[in-house]
Copies of this chain bind each other. A is one copy, B any other.
Amino acid sequence: MAAPLSLSRQASSAPSLERFAGYRMKRAFNVIQSDLAGVLAPFGLRMLTFSALVSLVDEPGLTSAHLAALLDVERPNLVAVVEDLERRGLIRRVAVPTDRRARALCPTKAGRDLCREALGAVQAHEARLFAGLDKGALMAALDVIRTRQG
């Protein structure tokens, strides 16, 4: 595939777009995301469902609202996720004695088991993806960016 017209004024070896970390990040994140989707698919999990399950195994009893705040998504987006997890017997919705509106989300044994397996697969995936890279430094940089809204 050659360029149809040679209108380029220079052999611009450093395209402007590539000078933006935001652009490179988007491209890198696309790779990670589609890769990760492939890793999670065999478990019947998508990224948000996986994140929710892991969070609930870490902190059993969270409500939907707490979970939404933790994962930084809006509450309505968790409805389908929680329903999916419950329908598959991975979590239970437990009545909260002190607040009849709320439902504590608790992982079942099956949920904890699936979570452990999926975590292992994701860990293996990241080990491959970040081999040779300073993952700690990368994560630290990402955290700085994350807390720099505005």
Q: Which residues of B contact A130 (CB under 8 A)?
A: 21, 145
- Structural contact, A5 and B133, CB atoms closer than 8 A: no
- Structural contact, A17 and B47, CB atoms closer than 8 A: no
| Bound CA span A128–B13, Å | 26
- Structural contact, B58 and A12, CB atoms closer than 8 A: yes
Count contacts on A: residues with CB < 8 A to the other chain. Answer: 73
Chain B residue at smallest Cβ distance from A148 = B129
Asked if A80 lies at the interface with its beta carbon under 8 angstroms from chain B, I say: no
* Chain B proximity of A12: nearest CB distance (Å): 5
| Bound CA span A21–B125, Å | 11
- Structural contact, A16 and B57, CB atoms closer than 8 A: yes
A72 CB contact (under 8 Å) in B27, B60, B129: B27
- Structural contact, A28 and B133, CB atoms closer than 8 A: no
Chain B residue at smallest Cβ distance from A133 = B141
- Structural contact, A32 and B145, CB atoms closer than 8 A: yes
- Structural contact, B16 and A119, CB atoms closer than 8 A: yes
